[in-house]
């Protein structure tokens, strides 16, 4: 019988020891995903350039065999309470965030620069079980009018010796709230203290995840650096109301914030305290002038690790 490409499932759990399978379960570690892709393997192909008195290809050996996973997750709260950690926060951890700090009315995640954990991930296509160990990755997020906001993940891990097995999962247990559309009723956006009419906001962590291989230790997904960027497509206001070119010239930073949701337990907020403004660009939409604002989200020069915060409340 053929395997169905439509039946997909992802589970992931933070590892105790990097690269050692911690056996995530469908009961405790399942995540509702969108567009899960576990179909590829990557490797550094080392060709044996052997001599011979004939034309033709030469044999090769695969080094640093890697297992990438990519998927989206709908941005929504825990669906339980304002102080319950959402199911997506562990996946943010391996993209350079802390575990989330619960307060009286929220859970706040901030970036970190040391001891970034790794994850054991299982991805199924029907009963085909794909495994990535020691996984880390990049996170981006998109908020667009009349669309479901999304976290997008690009993960890199390493497969076990048995790259692929036939082992159907049992029925999963999910702990995620239903998403709501980005809209005027559900979403607010502020940049530089002004509520720009927003078409789309994209934030990208731009994590540099590189395979690292040495004789002795196991291969690993190395988190080298990040440089967080943002881009907002907005309706151009009148200059007398707000001039978006002012901060481009002065290089002064601005506060940026988006809040999505209105009901406790299903509100997600992203804040950037130091947003740069690079060169604005005009475009047209339905005969209306739009402006694209973009730049870096900067860490503070003192402690850092505060380019942005993600709050579930």
Residue 303's nearest CA partner among 274, 278, 265 is 274
Burial class (CB in 10 A: 0-12, 13-18, 19+), 108: middle
What average pLDDT does this structure show over 162-189?
A: 95
When pLDDT is averaged across residues 224-248 and rounded to a whole number, the result is 96
Sorted by sequence, the CB contacts under 8 Å of residue 122 that are 6+ apart come out as 10, 11, 12, 24, 129, 130, 131, 169
Query: From the centroid of its chain, how far is CA 143?
Result: 13
* pLDDT tens for each residue of 99-134: 999 988 999 999 999 999 999 999 999 999 999 999
Q: Which of 208, 73, 93, 210 is nearest to 152 (CA)?
A: 73
Pair 113, 305: CB distance under 8 Å: yes
Q: Are 152 and 37 in contact (CB under 8 A)?
A: no
Stated as kind and residue range, the H or E segment containing 91 is helix 89-93
Sign of CA dihedral 270, 147, 81, 70: negative
Residues 188-225 pLDDT 10s: 999 999 999 999 999 999 999 999 999 999 999 999 99
Query: What is the model's pLDDT at position 279?
Result: 94
Residue 1 predicted with pLDDT over 90:
no
* Token couple for 121: 């991930």
Residue 12 has pLDDT above 90, yes or no: yes
Cα–Cα separations (whole angstroms), residue 158 to 18, 43, 65, 133, 220:
11, 10, 7, 5, 8
Question: What is the model's pLDDT at position 97?
Answer: 98
- Arithmetic mean of pLDDT over the chain: 96
Tokens at 210, concatenated: 């590189």
Check whether 302 has a pLDDT greater than 90: no
């Amino acid at each position: 019988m053929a395997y169905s490409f439509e039946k997909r499932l992802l589970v992931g759990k933070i590892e105790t020891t990097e690269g050692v399978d911690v056996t995530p379960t469908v009961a405790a570690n399942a995540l509702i995903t969108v567009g899960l892709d576990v179909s590829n393997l990557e490797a550094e192909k080392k060709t044996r350039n052997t001599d011979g008195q004939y034309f033709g290809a030469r044999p090769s050996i695969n080094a640093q065999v890697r297992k990438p996973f990519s998927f989206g997750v709908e941005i929504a709260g825990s669906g339980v309470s304002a102080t319950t950690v959402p199911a997506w926060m562990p996946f943010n951890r391996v993209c350079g965030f802390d575990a989330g700090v619960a307060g009286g009315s929220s859970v706040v995640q901030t970036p970190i620069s040391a001891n970034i954990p790794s994850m054991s991930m299982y991805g199924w296509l029907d009963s085909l079980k794909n495994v990535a160990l020691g996984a880390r990755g990049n996170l981006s997020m998109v908020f667009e009018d009349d669309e479901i906001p999304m976290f997008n993940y690009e993960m890199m891990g390493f497969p076990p010796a048995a790259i692929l097995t036939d082992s159907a999962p049992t029925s999963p247990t999910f702990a995620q709230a239903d998403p709501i559309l980005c809209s005027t009723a559900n979403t607010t956006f502020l940049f530089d203290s002004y509520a720009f009419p927003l078409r789309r906001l994209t934030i990208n962590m731009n994590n540099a995840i590189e395979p690292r291989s040495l004789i002795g230790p196991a291969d690993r997904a190395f988190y080298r650096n990040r440089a967080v960027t943002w881009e907002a497509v907005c309706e151009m206001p009148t200059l007398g109301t707000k001039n978006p070119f002012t901060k481009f010239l002065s290089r002064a930073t601005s506060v940026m914030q988006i809040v999505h949701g209105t009901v406790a337990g299903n509100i997600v907020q992203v804040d950037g305290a130091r947003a740069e403004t690079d060169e604005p660009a005009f475009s047209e939409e339905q005969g209306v002038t739009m402006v694209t604002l973009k730049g870096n989200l900067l860490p503070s020069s003192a402690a850092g690790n505060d380019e942005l915060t993600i709050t579930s409340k």
